[in-house]
Chains A and B, each alone.
Chain A
Amino acid sequence: MHRQIHVDWRAGLALVGTILAAFSLAFVVPIVVSLAYGGEDLWVFVVSMVATAGFGLSIRQLESEPDPGAREAFLVVALTWLLATVFGALPYVLAGNGAVAYPVNALFESMSGFTTTGATVMNDISFETHSRAMMMWRQLTQWLGGMGIIVLAVAILSQMAVGGAQLMEAETPGPGVSKLTPHIAETARVLWLAYLFFTVVYIALLYGLHLAGYAPNMDFYNAIAHGFTTLPTGGFSPEARSIEAFSPAVQWLVVPFMFVAGVNFVLWWHVISGDPWALFRDNEFRLYLGAVTTLSLVGTAMLFFSALETPETGVIGGNLERSARYATFQIASLTNSTGYANMDFDAWSGPTKGLLLFAMFIGGSTGSTGGGIKVLRWLVILKSLRREVFTAIHPEAVRPVRMNGQVLDEDAVRGIYAFTLLYFVIFFVGVGLLAADAARVGLELELIDVVSASIATLGNIGPGLGEVTGPMGGYESFPRSSKLLMILYMWIGRLEIFPVLVLLTRAYWQS
């Protein structure tokens, strides 16, 4: 029986084509880097750029004046991210170096980049294997994905002004987009400007440390490379040992910027425009600050009173500066899903790793570049649970849930419960599937590896807590089927499940 398809997929695809064509300009950055470093891999990026632009321009022909509606927004957002990942993987395959030369690995690395996950299948991160241009491309994918490809497209493409709000809604982390200005394109620009502002300041400070002599190996290349992955809560580093490779001064500088990346950029916009108290009036920010501070203090105490010692770091237990540095850094990094490591925290004791696992379930704030469940959702859940307790005592009490003094719609509260429940269901299904898949191919994994691989990809965090998935390990050893599952998880995790999930329902296409 023939069923009518009720989604204007032609218009959707045409719009995706427009976005892809604009997106192909991003390859200019690695091309410039390549030229600066002797032209290595130059052809790779030129070919990728031409292919991306060509494909984008050709599917744009499907509809001359695309006018996608609310329903097509899901398709556009989900497909844009998928296609950006596919074309972003092209350079890895074309260059043909290391493990990422294999298509599935390349896709994994690309998806991990755009979704700012930071999980890697590169088992030999060094400039001997990969060109500097290639490593910069890997960093850049995170920077582009951080504030969102769609948000960027809305900011720069005038034809996306009308449906832009719906597209941004589907892409932006957390429930709801707050329009800062009457024009959505202006709002998108404002968000990107705040993002750019922090990135530039951060790069300047990193390079400043280098010039001042506090960071010998933080050269201009590294400053930019890390500038590209801190603000988007990415976590990729061209250094094999992540931030551990840098001096304590650099590590301390990274902490506040990771924290900044986990805050709603709408709030940063208010701060930059001269209203710093906007931050502290925000319930979500206060909880985020409180959670990161508390967890850091607990972590510091746990490390301080441990007998932890590793060859790379020296004695940590009993050393206050080191305990504080490692604990604060890892908590700041894992809470908001950045995924940097300043030491191999796989060496931490079980309870201390438990603290990190707990932090991984918190996530960043709404409208930040962080992944995970998001602080706002936890706040709403906590508030409505408190209400449940209260109404158990006073059955007739009517208690709206408030956020920043504003009443939250009960539908929104229900939506948050549904999301969080679904998140956990998907997380547990992931644990099961990854464990079963590992058993199928005879890969021996510890439970913590499987558990943290599931949350680290779904939450766009990156490194897990086990030997294999840990910060100094890699996802390369997982079977190909598991990698495909994790690619799916990173994708739905970044888009917060629903925009992808609705595409898989019959109702979306036919009713």
Chain B
Amino acid sequence: MHVIVVGAGAVGQAIAANLEDSHDVVVIDPDSDIVEKLNYSHDVLAVRGDGTELGTLREAGIERADLVIASTDSDETNVVICGAAKAAGDAFTIARVRRRTLLETWEGSRGAFGVDFMVCTDLLTARAIFRIAGLPAAHDVDMFVGGLVRMAEFEIGPESPVAGTTVADADRWDSLTFAGIFRDDEMIVASGDTELRAGDRIVVIGSPHSVTDFSTDIAAPDTASPDEVVVVGGSEIGFQTAREFEEHGYSPRLIERDPDRARECAEALPDTMVLQSDGTDAEFLAREHVDEADVVVAALDGDEKNLLVSLLARRLGVDRTVAVIENLEYADLFETVGIDVAINPREETAEEIVRFTRAEHTEKIAMLEHDRAEVIEIEVGPDSALVDGPIADVTNDLPSGVVVGAISRGGELITPRGETTIEPGDHVVCFVDGDVLEEVLEAI
């Protein structure tokens, strides 16, 4: 595929890096320093110029482009880039926007502005925070097949009842499939005799209900679904997160330091209690009983501040801390220091965008542990390797590292077992090891 990425900011670079191995990527950015750096650091072609200009787009090869991704910092610019790209060629256009209202306009009439797909990074991040915060002990949660199937990644604590048992022993939840296990740097595909150890991160796929049951069962006994939610930082992500909680019937609290921004948030969020204060002021946090919160979400601008807030909340006795971490390298480090979940906005955006570079039937992608493995949803075609017999047989023919997690047939969820047969037209959610991804995608 010929992919043009306009705007080499943090998200643009992350997307380029994700695609460079398997596609021809051209990056356009007006900053010559960035362009020069990109040409050396990544296996992409970087072009200096204005992405809204036809000349620059032509230079990047717009005529033969299959995909144009506009991810500059300006919403309007991104929309214009898509419009220009549509005028010059017939690439699939993706615009990244910050403003939710723009997304809502586009959703009202898909294809508006010449944009084929629109992603709102902050909204995606907020939704991810909501999904993960709502499930005790979860590190990552994603929905598939329109909400019928849920994937979740959990860390198994030392007191968890499944620690020390094998997958076969632990497999007592209906319509739930154990897909994979991350242990230190290793990725293990779950099979019946795999042992689950404390400290493992385990990926399960199943119905939303069974995943919730599983999470309550394996989590430490005192962690229930969250009632008290505190969001620190009225950044766009913090704001959208509070709104996401609000829309699901919660009454979160939002702490924002800037008086004007606090007022703005309070005006737009009728069910949120907005507090205008410094989220790192321990005396204030104690006075407002933030220590009694079930979840604290750190969504300030700056990874260090989010780390500080999370550690402080931990110290006060908050059950779970979720922090927005922009820098991918920090994420692991921060999780070792004491943040329960680090969420990376770029990864959330990449998950949405990357699927358009895949074969047409890929419906959704969730990346796990920085893309060491993926959970993907595909619509099975008649030529797929999956339809040749029972699952036990077809997965043997595929490279090792594939687990079929859930099947949806005509809106019904089918829990796959060895003897189940997949039919064309089914939606299949499977866990795939990152190393064999290309190969597997080819076959199925």
Contacts and interface: CB of A to CB of B under 8 A. Distances in A.
Chain A complexes with chain B: yes
Interface of A: 394, 396-400, 402, 405, 407
Interface residues of B, number: 15
B414 interface: no
Contacts of B259: 398
Contacts of A398: 259, 262-263, 265-266, 274-276
A397 B275 contact: yes
B284 A396 contact: yes
Interface in B256-292: 259, 262-263, 265-267, 270, 273-277, 284, 288
A315 B257 CA distance: 67
The 10 closest A-B pairs by CB, nearest first: A398-B266, A396-B277, A396-B275, A398-B274, A407-B267, A398-B262, A400-B267, A398-B276, A396-B276, A400-B266
A394 B270 contact: no
B273 A394 contact: yes
Contacts of B270: 402, 405
A405 B269 CA distance: 10
Contacts of A407: 267
Contacts of B276: 396-398
Contacts of A399: 266, 273-274
A399 B265 CA distance: 10
B263 A400 contact: yes
A405 B271 CA distance: 11
Contacts of B263: 398, 400
A402 B267 CA distance: 8
Contacts of B277: 396
| Candidate in A394, A396, A398 with the most chain B CB atoms within 10 angstroms | A398
13 contacts: A394-B275, A394-B288, A396-B255, A396-B275, A396-B276, A396-B288, A397-B273, A397-B274, A398-B262, A398-B276, A399-B273, A400-B266, A405-B270
Contacts of B275: 394, 396-398
Contacts of A394: 273, 275, 288
Nearest to B263: A398
Contacts of A405: 270
A405 B267 CA distance: 10
A471 B284 CA distance: 59
A472 to B, nearest CB: 50
A396 to B, nearest CB: 4
A510 B266 CA distance: 41
A397 B276 CA distance: 6
A447 B73 CA distance: 71
Interface in B4-56: none
A399 B288 CA distance: 16
Contacts of A396: 255, 275-277, 284, 288
A400 B269 CA distance: 10
B283 to A, nearest CB: 11
A340 B277 CA distance: 54
A396 B267 CA distance: 15
Nearest to A402: B270
B292 to A, nearest CB: 14
A380 to B, nearest CB: 16
Interface centre among A396, A402, A405, A407 (most CB of B within 10 A): A396
Contacts of B266: 398-400
Nearest to B274: A398
Contacts of B284: 396
A84 B266 CA distance: 47
Contacts of A402: 270
A394 B287 CA distance: 9
A510 to B, nearest CB: 36
Contacts of B273: 394, 397, 399
A396 B288 CA distance: 9
B440 to A, nearest CB: 50
B306 to A, nearest CB: 20
B263 to A, nearest CB: 6
A406 to B, nearest CB: 9
A402 B266 CA distance: 11
Contacts of B262: 398
Interface in B305-338: none
A407 B274 CA distance: 14
A486 to B, nearest CB: 43
Nearest to A399: B266
A399 B271 CA distance: 10
A478 B96 CA distance: 75
B204 to A, nearest CB: 40
A400 B274 CA distance: 10
Nearest to A406: B267
A399 B267 CA distance: 8
B124 to A, nearest CB: 27
A361 B262 CA distance: 36
Given A398-B263, A407-B267, 5 more contacts: A396-B275, A396-B288, A397-B276, A399-B266, A402-B270
Nearest to B288: A394
Interface string B423-434: 000000000000
Nearest to B259: A398
A396 B276 CA distance: 5
Nearest to B284: A396
A139 to B, nearest CB: 46
B110 to A, nearest CB: 29
A397 B273 CA distance: 7
A407 B264 CA distance: 10
Nearest to B261: A398
A463 to B, nearest CB: 42
Interface centre among B255, B267, B284 (most CB of A within 10 A): B267
A400 B276 CA distance: 13
A407 to B, nearest CB: 4
